[in-house]
Structure 1
Amino acid sequence: MPHNAVFSPGLPPLKLLVCASLALALAACGGGGGNPGTVGGGTTMPGTGTPAGEPRMTVTVVDGAGTSVNSLSGGQTGLVRVKLTDSTGIAAASAIVKFTASDTSLVEFTPASGSALTDATGTAVISVKPSSVTAAGAVAITAEGVVAGKTATASVNIAVGAAPLTVGALTLTPAPAGKLPAFSTVAINIPVTSGGQPATTVPGLTVTSLCVGDGTATIVLGALANGVQTATYTNNGCLRGTDRITASIGNSSQGINIDVDAANIGTMQFVGSDLQGTSIVLKGSGGLGRKEAAVLSFRVVDRNNNGLAGVDVNFRATTYTGGLTVLPASATTDATGRVTTTVSSGTIPTPVRVIAEATRNGSTISGLSDALTISTGLPIQKAMSLSADRHNIEGGDRDGEIAKMTIRLADQYGNPISDNTAVNFITEGGAIGTAAQGACVTSDGGCTVELRSQNFKPVNGRVTVMAFVQGVENFTDMNGDGQYSCTNFVDANGAVPTVYRPLVDTCLSGGEPFVDMGDPFLDTEEDGVYEAVEGDLPIPYNSTTYRAAGNGKWGINYIRASAVITFSGSTPFLTRVVCSGSTCRDWTSADGTEDVIAGVAGAACSARPLTFRLHDRNNNPLPENTAVAAGDTDKLSLGEVIPALVPSSNTIGGTIHSVTVKPDSTCAHGSIVVKVTTPKGTTKPFAFKSQI
């Protein structure tokens, strides 16, 4: 048979011939076995691809029944099983097998170390499961073991799927016999599977019920074992009679019914009122921030302090003095057990409490509200006062000196008016109030503002301050009903109402005696007469012009109070006076020389009184707390000055002080100095001497 020569590119014919000859020679000698392309290879084991003398390994993934699987999903757990032998097929016992995954985000091993020891049969097993129920993809699991210093490896590929979890039929343990009593518990058993296998985790499982939604039952999850999630159901007094419990995960859901019993009443609790304090004003005195009614809240609870819904509650007051009312007289509790009623004031001041009473299942309970005070009406003129902490501040020559002005208000019964009543102030000089308002808001019937010395400063140093607020004119309660009464009256439309309503209806005649007040004004001359030319400032009520006389009707007006603060000068003046009892007059030349004290020296000398008044340049008192003390003395001495400090006063003429001048033991001629020092440190001496 003819042979064609085939040449390989790059090799000359001679070299090809030599190679062919060598190959034939080797074949004749029986050498050169192995896989094609290997050099010096060894013998291979049939069907395994493992060279002779190497350990052997197989790896599979099986389910709980031992069946080989190539996928895992949801909460399913598989077993990675490895068979390891030596080169002769003998089981490799006590060998360490290490397992790894090509993607650790898809699966996790148990134990977490990913290693296991082969048993006597050369078998090593480790658990594997998806890392989460949402994990999905493909992963290679590789096992590696060492036998007699040689390493064997094998791999298996599996798919990881996000298989859904499935909820099975729910059961209750123990099954209730009849209705589950309030505050009793029962166990809920919730089987969950993944891919037909018991789930090892149940993320996303929710268990709830109708009564849980009402707030009258609770469900608390327990442990998961063998694919069964347990939970504890507690009936907190559900009113539905039958509750529906539902367990859901993903698109899988199961439910079960349970009969439940309502709770008995435990206690009636007083929650509070809508008032900021504890008082409401008398009937007919509302408005201007005052309330004539209070909403009281109670709560009906069971013995575990849970609110009970649907309970009927009756209300009554401890007194109905003055026409006080409680409405509604009965009401039903809401879903939280809360119920309310309203107390409306009468016309007579009185303390009152409200009793709330409820009955269920033959059991009756009651609760008592906190005490309310029905007393505070509108402020009345006779119960308004204005005071100052200092009537004489060193503000004549200085700015920023402060006097605190306090207003106090009460109603016709002497009770402090409602909190948050705004009182306005105006002043003849200086500045009063704050940058926000020239007013203050009452608390416990009073409030305080600051008067500061600054320009304008009256020439005479006397500053009139007036406070005013809406209130009622003084009246005499002839019939003792707690309000102004009238026998002939009409309403705003001219019709005659059934009952006279003070401050609403117009009294034509037959009204109780009252003081008809004109408009207030800032009285700069302190004479009680409105004089526009003197700078008096009018404050008309409901009018654009000042009215000196009243309107002939009892009702609301600006009630007012005034006080005078002196902006006292810092330079002291001393005038000697002669006093007889409580009456004093200034020293005159007929009394002798003003700075000479007769009888304190010479024959038959004795202690003599020295009396004087201290004042500023405007004949007003010196600043409060101006000190009066002894200065330098020669032969003579001074006793205690009374008073030693200038008191708070706005009296024209200043303040009277007295001191005893004591003679020398030899009745020698001498002198004394009275030293006067204002709070800001201005000092002036006044010298006196004995007669020669």
Structure 2
Amino acid sequence: MLTASTHHPSAGIKRVAVLTLIAAAVLSACGGGGGNPGAVPAASGATGNTGTGGTGTGTGTGTTATADTKVSLTMTDGTNQPVTSLSGGQSATLKATVLTPSGKPAVGAIVQFATATAGMVAFTPDTGSALTDANGVAVVTIKPATYTTAGALALTATSVVESKTGSAGLNIAIGAAPLTVGALSFSPAPAGRLPAFNTLALNIPVTSNGQAATASTGLSLTSLCAGNGSATLVPGAISNGVQLATYTNNGCTLGRDVITASIGNSSQTIGIDVSAANIGAIQFSGSSLSGTAIVLKGSGGQGRSESAQLNYRVVDQQGNGLAGVDVDFSATTATGGLTVSPIRATTDASGKVSTTVASGSIPTPVRVLASASRNGSVITGLSDTLIVSTGLPIQKSMTMSPAFRNLEAWDVTGETVGISVYLADQYGNKVSDGTAVNFVTEGGAVASSAQGGCVTVDGHCSVDLVGQNVRPATGRVTVMAFVQGVEDFVDMNGDGQYSCTGWTGPAGSYRPLVDTCPSGGEPFTDMPDPFLDTNLNGVYEAADNDLPIPFNSSTYKPVGNGAWGLNYLRRDIEIVFSGSYARLSDVCYNGSCTGATYANGASIPLAGLAGTGCAARALSVRLTDVNNNPLPFGTGVSVSSATKLSVTGLSPATIPSTLAAGGTLHQMTVSPDAQCAPGDFTLQTKTPQGKITEFKFTAN
């Protein structure tokens, strides 16, 4: 039996003097005491002064060396064998035997078991105290606080009997015991593949030294699908040595998942068949276009696209993007050779996938269908409608129109008239926005300082012609607009593009506007280079100061090049720089006309409106400017005053938009008063700029 020295713990009672005497007596009896087996701590939950330790035998027991209260302490395992170490979840019995000072078993005495190092062991009961039985024996259970606890520990057992205190100490070792993972299982066991977004309970047995563990410290849960984010493993509680976890298939596409549970060097795996998530939808997410239209094949260029990238996203029923899904694409029409490429693509990590649609040669609306299948189910999605339209402008569709044709610009500087150009392609579709149109003029100034022309929006654009020098002697100004486009042709086979039947290259390889058709193509109008036709006779004449505009050349070509293709499309119009002051001629009255011409302030007699036989008479006059051109558009014609005469039915009362040489003809009816008295009236013209000319008509 291990003999220990008397120990003096402090238990919160006033026993210091008594214990000092006991210690002295013990030392006297033992001749100064034996060796020191180690420090014996104050009891956890009972305090006092410590004494000097006695000798130890290493058998796992200790006995006080006092002749008074005697305490011995042993620790035994489940087979009642003495032990001096514990590990992991192992528990042991601490047994203290207490004898009275007279050497008899102390019955009903309180024994306090304790350790000075907190947190390493746990007692049962947790107070660490027990009463002695009829044999003077008190018992508690001890075990490491956790499975990872490790180190050396001093234990004490202390009891007070008949006011005498006895104590025994015991040094033990605590070792961390490894946890072991047992065979994994699902509860309930899955029947077939686990569908996407379904959950199973995973059972993970955990033991220590063959005993059911109460904690799973250091447990690691992994799986193939959890590794790529398509499954989750969430640990729950541990009960009766079984750690629970929840496994959720979030649409894993591997087909079979392998789950691993490990603690330290102990691990177990279990496999489970999983189904990928069903496709919830294929969503069209937009295109590379700023609008919804692409131009006809061969009509591309700056700001004009013949193709568009279409973007889709494949998602599951939860709206999550599905990676690795093969998507097939097809167009709702292949009119004119429209194509889609690629016809199959695979979604990226976020479920995104794209394809490109390229136009053909014929305008058409089109949608692109995306389809994919999974788990036996086919899902489709359509793009928004695209419009394949708007080829290059063609000559026959080019239109040029002024706001009006007679501008008050001969005598006035700075007046403007708007000129618009309208363009369309072979099919009559408006050309793409951004098509550039240039202008030249033989008089005044055209366009703006920022742009020498205009750029189309919705198929047309406009510029201003400004009245200024140069002013041609005739007062007539030619303005020409030109734009790059294609020559007129007859689409004999209706494919929307020029076909070359005489092509000698590989079949189907002819490229309109790229290759030159040597002969045998569809009928077309071969256009020479344009020129500013100053006299509008349709013939280029350098002597008339006609202005040549060579296309793709440094010299003017008066004839075509013999091949269909690109050229400068052109239109021209004539604008009159009208004078502000009227001249009057061709006075026709009472069935006869005069050949005279009258200027501002002239007086013109009218017979038959006064005196015997007076009657109402029809009167017509011609109004022109100084160059025998029409007066400015919007010029008013009116009777400013009348005496004894009345004028009705004056028409037109406003100068219209006209290019007519010789001006405009105006008619009216002149009536005498009831007395057929002599009278007069004044015919007045007033231009938009307020310039007035007057002619006086008299009846005597």
* TM tier relative to shorter chain: 0.5 to 0.7
Match of 1:555 in 2: 565
Secondary structure of 1:571's partner? coil
Cα distance in 1 for residues equivalent to 2:691 and 2:252 = 82
| 2:419 is aligned with 1:415 | no
Q: 1:312 to 1:454 in 2, by over 3 A?
A: same
Match of 1:153 in 2: none
CA deviation after TM superposition for structure 1 residue 410, in Å: 0.8
Match of 1:388 in 2: 402
TM-score (norm: length of structure 1): 0.60
Cα distance in 2 for residues equivalent to 1:607 and 1:211 = 108
Counterpart of 2:307 (choices 286, 290, 293) is 293
CA deviation after TM superposition for structure 1 residue 560, in Å: 0.2
Q: 1:687 to 1:508 in 2, by over 3 A?
A: same
CA deviation after TM superposition for structure 1 residue 656, in Å: 2.7
Cα distance in 2 for residues equivalent to 1:528 and 1:668 = 57
Cα distance in 2 for residues equivalent to 1:242 and 1:573 = 101
Match of 1:272 in 2: 286
Match of 2:670 in 1: 661
Contact 1:597–1:608 (Cα < 8 Å) also in 2? no
Match of 2:574 in 1: 564
Bigger CA radius of gyration: 2
Q: 1:682 to 1:363 in 2, by over 3 A?
A: same
Cα distance in 1 for residues equivalent to 2:542 and 2:652 = 40
Cα distance in 1 for residues equivalent to 2:228 and 2:632 = 72
Cα distance in 2 for residues equivalent to 1:673 and 1:497 = 79
Counterpart of 1:650 (choices 634, 637, 659) is 659
Residue identity in the other structure for 2:568: Y
Unaligned runs of 5+ residues in structure 2 are 1-43, 46-186, 201-222, 233-246, 259-269
Match of 1:362 in 2: 376
CA-based RMSD of the aligned residues comes to 4.2
Cα distance in 2 for residues equivalent to 1:619 and 1:215 = 89
The 5 A counterparts of 1:168-567 are 263-287=277-301, 289-490=303-504, 498-567=508-577
Q: 1:313 to 1:613 in 2, by over 3 A?
A: farther
Contact 2:586–2:596 (Cα < 8 Å) also in 1? no
Match of 2:627 in 1: 618
TM-score (norm: length of structure 2): 0.59
Residue identity in the other structure for 1:622: L
Deviations 1:387-440 (A, max 9, x none): 111222222223321211111111121111122111111122222222222121
Deviations 1:623-667 (A, max 9, x none): 221111221101111224322222222332223322222332233
Contact 1:575–1:586 (Cα < 8 Å) also in 2? no
Deviations 1:153-204 (A, max 9, x none): xxxxxxxxxxxxxxxxxxxxxx999899877999xxxxxxxxxxxxxxxxxx
CA deviation after TM superposition for structure 1 residue 330, in Å: 1.8
CA deviation after TM superposition for structure 1 residue 621, in Å: 2.0
Contact 1:576–1:594 (Cα < 8 Å) also in 2? no
Cα distance in 2 for residues equivalent to 1:525 and 1:328 = 57
Secondary structure of 1:689's partner? strand
Residue identity in the other structure for 1:642: S
Secondary structure of 2:517's partner? strand
Match of 1:607 in 2: 616
CA deviation after TM superposition for structure 1 residue 457, in Å: 2.6
Secondary structure of 1:557's partner? strand
Contact 2:585–2:595 (Cα < 8 Å) also in 1? no
Q: 1:597 to 1:374 in 2, by over 3 A?
A: farther
Counterpart of 2:696 (choices 676, 687, 690) is 687
Cα distance in 1 for residues equivalent to 2:257 and 2:469 = 79
Residue identity in the other structure for 2:576: T
Which has the higher mean CA deviation after the structures are superposed, 297-306 or 329-338?
297-306
Cα distance in 1 for residues equivalent to 2:691 and 2:338 = 63
Q: 1:496 to 1:234 in 2, by over 3 A?
A: closer
Q: 1:213 to 1:371 in 2, by over 3 A?
A: farther
Q: 1:561 to 1:265 in 2, by over 3 A?
A: same
Cα distance in 2 for residues equivalent to 1:585 and 1:360 = 97
Cα distance in 1 for residues equivalent to 2:472 and 2:387 = 46
Cα distance in 2 for residues equivalent to 1:397 and 1:307 = 73
Q: 1:541 to 1:666 in 2, by over 3 A?
A: same
CA deviation after TM superposition for structure 1 residue 497, in Å: 5.4
Residue identity in the other structure for 1:535: N
Cα distance in 2 for residues equivalent to 1:539 and 1:215 = 67
Contact 2:283–2:381 (Cα < 8 Å) also in 1? yes
Contact 1:184–1:235 (Cα < 8 Å) also in 2? yes
Counterpart of 1:588 (choices 561, 582, 595) is 595
Residue identity in the other structure for 1:320: A
Contact 1:312–1:333 (Cα < 8 Å) also in 2? yes
Cα distance in 2 for residues equivalent to 1:293 and 1:283 = 9
Secondary structure of 2:396's partner? helix
Cα distance in 2 for residues equivalent to 1:636 and 1:417 = 59
Q: 1:182 to 1:642 in 2, by over 3 A?
A: farther
Cα distance in 2 for residues equivalent to 1:647 and 1:176 = 95
Secondary structure of 1:533's partner? helix
CA deviation after TM superposition for structure 1 residue 557, in Å: 0.8
CA deviation after TM superposition for structure 1 residue 521, in Å: 0.7
Deviations 1:555-597 (A, max 9, x none): 11111011122222222333335599xxx9984269xx99334
Deviations 1:335-356 (A, max 9, x none): 3322222222223332222222
Residue identity in the other structure for 1:311: V
Contact 2:603–2:698 (Cα < 8 Å) also in 1? no
Contact 1:467–1:562 (Cα < 8 Å) also in 2? yes
Residue identity in the other structure for 1:616: D
The 5 A counterparts of 1:40-59 are none
Secondary structure of 2:519's partner? strand
Residue identity in the other structure for 2:524: F
Contact 1:587–1:594 (Cα < 8 Å) also in 2? no
Deviations 1:287-317 (A, max 9, x none): 4543332222222233454433322222222
The 5 A counterparts of 1:110-125 are none
Q: 1:210 to 1:658 in 2, by over 3 A?
A: farther
Residue identity in the other structure for 2:381: G
Match of 2:158 in 1: none
The 5 A counterparts of 1:20-31 are none
Match of 1:199 in 2: none
CA deviation after TM superposition for structure 1 residue 535, in Å: 2.0
Residue identity in the other structure for 1:315: F
Q: 1:551 to 1:666 in 2, by over 3 A?
A: same
Question: What's the % identity of the aligned pairs?
Answer: 58
Deviations 1:216-262 (A, max 9, x none): 899xxxxxxxxxxxxxx999867689999xxxxxxxxxxxx999986
Match of 1:670 in 2: 679
Match of 1:630 in 2: 639
CA deviation after TM superposition for structure 1 residue 381, in Å: 0.7
